[in-house]
Amino acid sequence: MTDAPTVIRTKRDGGRLADAEIDWVVDAYTRGDVGDEQMAALLMAIFLRGMDAAEIARWTAAMIGSGTRFDFTDLRRDGRPLSLVDKHSTGGVGDKITIVLVPVIVACGGAVPQASGRGLGHTGGTLDKLEAIPGFSGELTLDRIRDQLTRVGAAIFAAGELAPADRKLYALRDITATVDSLPLIASSIMSKKLAEGTGSLVLDVKVGSGAFLSDPADAAALAATMVDLGAGYGVPTRALLTDMSNPLGRTAGNALEVAESLDVLAGGGPPDIVELTLALAGEMLTLAGIDGRDPADTLADGSAMDAFRAMVSAQGGDLDAGLPTATVTETVTAAGGGVMGDIDAHAVGMAVWRLGAGRTVAGQRVQAGAGIEIHRRPGEPVTAGQPLFTLHTDTPERLPAALAELDGAWSIGATRPPVRPLILGRVPR
């Protein structure tokens, strides 16, 4: 038997946590016997001191053990077992890839059980985005998830009874500046993914200013840690390292990103969103052993859009009701002409958060319409007076702080910035 001050002190002083200490503290926190103030101190100690691979594996196991593990291996479609495969991103700005990718995989014959998260720090969360659709709910019972997987091929849901320790830790990390820690990110993601019942998993590990771990070596270490955790549970796992220096696409913010995703599902949309979606789809289909359709065809022929509509409607969403819009907008225009340079993804994420798309207090409602439209992407020509960014919010008093975040985050130059490859690496290679 141990106690919270002892566990905190051990990590604070750079020691290793014993298996029994990890099991105890995760369980006691989930049950409410360890308080938020004690866990906040422990999270900060982990943030500062780190954890070794064995500690991360045990912490992840304790988080999985805090709840249920789903098993969908008995589900059948047309008499055959489902090809269960999922994807998770470590978090980015304008990262609406899941919204497009899940229906692409369904249209290719896969089934996606996706436990998803809400906004964290400066990054958006898929559930917050999808819940911008009138009526859409991510709160699904296990029976509904099973039914949806069989009937429409995908369900995107709040983790609920899966890894409930993560729900509490995620909310606490979000408000205690303890998000950007390798052991905490790896255990948070993998506890949900290993409990959700997927058969295989592709991770999109972000690198660059808008990522939680911006340094390429740290991101590669995070990818390797998560791939190993997946293998340890018999879930084949692969990771792509992808650039998050610039925001993805032309929008960041909940409803704005859903609208942009619909453009991609309709066969258009920004090329970076299409490229990343197709790269991740290729990895998922290979890993799940699904052979047949070219994922690009599902965007061109509308079958991914059909799959998206079916999933949204199964979850109560009404796409025909229109997406919410913010009440106030403000547009930043170019003082002079030239070429748009890089746009700092972290700054855009912070600006979007300040506009009301994210939370400052756990459990807060987010503004569905808040966010930023990016009118000129890096490398695009700009003329004086042209709109560069439009900020959207329901609370105009937030505009100055959001504009301050954008200050210095972009530039207009005489020449094109170097083209950044989107896909930076793969783990395992």
Binding-site ranges for ligand URA (CB under 6 A): 90-91, 117, 120, 184-185, 188-189
Burial category of 323 from C-beta neighbours within 10 Å (exposed 0-12, middle 13-18, buried 19 and up)? middle
Beta carbon nearer to ligand URA, 57 or 82: 57
Say whether 166 is catalytic. Answer: yes
In the set 87, 96, 192, 359, the catalytic residue is 192
Nearest distance from residue 264's CB to ligand URA, in Å?
A: 22
In the set 89, 116, 188, 209, the catalytic residue is 188
Nearest distance from residue 27's CB to ligand URA, in Å?
A: 20
Beta carbon nearer to ligand URA, 166 or 342: 166
Beta carbon nearer to ligand URA, 83 or 191: 191
Nearest distance from residue 79's CB to ligand URA, in Å?
A: 35
Beta carbon nearer to ligand URA, 75 or 185: 185
Say whether 173 is catalytic. Answer: yes
Beta carbon nearer to ligand URA, 65 or 109: 65
Nearest distance from residue 111's CB to ligand URA, in Å?
A: 21
Nearest distance from residue 417's CB to ligand URA, in Å?
A: 28
Three-class DSSP labels, the chain: CCCHHHHHHHHHCCCCCCHHHHHHHHHHHHHCCCCHHHHHHHHHHHHHHCCCHHHHHHHHHHHHHCCECCCCCCCEECCEECCEEEEEECCCCCCCHHHHHHHHHHHCCCEEEEEECCCECCECCHHHHHCCCCCCCCCCCHHHHHHHHHHCCEEEEECCCECHHHHHHHHHHHCCCCCCCHHHHHHHHHHHHHHCCCCEEEEEEEECCCCCCCCHHHHHHHHHHHHHHHHHCCCCEEEEEEECCCCCCCEECHHHHHHHHHHHHCCCCCHHHHHHHHHHHHHHHHHHCCCCCCHHHHHHCCHHHHHHHHHHHHCCCCHHHCCCCCCEEEEEECCCCEEECCCCHHHHHHHHHHHHHCCCCCCCCCCCCCEEEECCCCCCEECCCCEEEEEEECCHHHHHHHHHHHCCCCCEECCCCCCCCCEEEEECC
Q: Which residue is nearest to ligand URA (CB)?
A: 188
- Structure-block tokens of residue 107: 């249209």
In the set 11, 58, 87, 88, the catalytic residue is 88
Other C-beta atoms closer than 10 Å to the C-beta of 363 total: 7
Radius of gyration of the chain, Cα coordinates, nearest whole angstrom? 21
Q: Which of 145, 146, 161 is nearest to 64 (CA)?
A: 161
Nearest distance from residue 180's CB to ligand URA, in Å?
A: 9
Beta carbon nearer to ligand URA, 91 or 269: 91
In the set 166, 243, 272, 342, the catalytic residue is 166
Asked if 348 contacts 374 with a C-beta cutoff of 8 angstroms, the reply is yes
Tell me the C-alpha distance between 404 and 186, whole Å: 32
Nearest distance from residue 46's CB to ligand URA, in Å?
A: 12
Say whether 122 is catalytic. Answer: no
Beta carbon nearer to ligand URA, 186 or 279: 186
Beta carbon nearer to ligand URA, 127 or 382: 127
In the set 58, 118, 168, 173, the catalytic residue is 173
Nearest distance from residue 210's CB to ligand URA, in Å?
A: 12
Catalytic site positions? 88, 166, 173, 188, 192
